[in-house]
Amino acid sequence: MASALNAIFGFLLIVLLLVVVLAVIGVLLYNALVQGRNAWKNAFAQIDVQLQRRFDLIPNLLETAKAYMAHERQTLEAVTAARNTAQAGLNAARENPGNAGAMAQLAASSGVLDGVLGRLMVAVEAYPDLKANQNMMQLSEELSSTENRVAFARQAYNDTVMDYNNRCESFPSNLIAGMFKFALASPLEIPAEQREQVRQAPKVTF
């Protein structure tokens, strides 16, 4: 009788230890998913800051250019329209960061803005007085610096999204991800049709 009780007790102890080990593993996997999700959300916040700074610089840039580029009204209006569309894209992404549709909208609208800004900078080349304007030089430098920061923040965001998505899709963390509804996040990628345009966008040095 005693040996039977000892066997049962031993079996229950093994089961208990197994449950504890599985619970600990589950907690660790869950925490890793939470950390990954927080990481990409924080990385998106950095994109948000840099894009907003970029959008805030553009009206000042256009205001300075207007005084010299009276015959470039269409170009200036195109920049304003693209800037407003990109701002709307950022607002949508803020409300639902990581969502595939929102990130696609932001990427597409940002790509269009890149293109029209490139055309503006080409047009500026025809106005030596504007190129030499101290305010224009400063704004252009700030815009260029901000664009570099945007590119860096976008890469950091995409890296954290890939790491998080890998955790969501890899065994055994995918079990925890499914159980607690950890949704995959979408990267911020330049649309294929705009990549070449952005790559070839002229960079004007003042």
User: What pLDDT was estimated at residue 142?
Assistant: 94
Question: What burial class does residue 171 get, using C-beta atoms within 10 Å of its C-beta: 0-12 exposed, 13-18 middle, 19+ buried?
Answer: exposed
Residue type, 196: E
Per-residue pLDDT averaged across 13-42, rounded? 94
User: What pLDDT was estimated at residue 194?
Assistant: 59
**Residue 143 · residue 54 · CB < 8 Å:** yes
Per-residue pLDDT averaged across 2-13, rounded? 76
* Distances in whole angstroms, Cα of residue 124 to Cα of each of 145, 158, 193, 203: 18, 33, 26, 11
User: What pLDDT was estimated at residue 202?
Assistant: 42
User: What pLDDT was estimated at residue 199?
Assistant: 46
Question: CA 98, CA 174: separation in Å to the nearest integer?
Answer: 18
Mind listing the pLDDT tens digit for each residue in 50-97? 999 999 999 999 999 988 888 888 999 999 999 999 999 999 999 999
User: What pLDDT was estimated at residue 192?
Assistant: 65
With a cut of 50, say whether residue 200 has pLDDT above it.
no
User: What pLDDT was estimated at residue 165?
Assistant: 97
Mind listing the pLDDT tens digit for each residue in 110-151? 999 999 999 998 899 889 998 889 999 999 999 999 999 999
Question: CA 104, CA 101: separation in Å to the nearest integer?
Answer: 5
**Residue 112 · residue 86 · CB < 8 Å:** yes
Of 190, 191, 186, residue with least CA distance to 102:
186
User: What pLDDT was estimated at residue 84?
Assistant: 97
Of 120, 145, 117, 119, residue with least CA distance to 50:
145
**Residue 165 · residue 185 · CB < 8 Å:** yes
Per-residue pLDDT averaged across 151-176, rounded? 96
Length of the chain: 206
CATH number 1.10.10.10 is the correct assignment for the domain at 2-200: no
User: What pLDDT was estimated at residue 71?
Assistant: 83
Contacts of 150 (CB under 8 A, 6+ apart): 47, 50, 51, 54
Averaged confidence pLDDT in the chain: 89
Question: CA 178, CA 168: separation in Å to the nearest integer?
Answer: 8
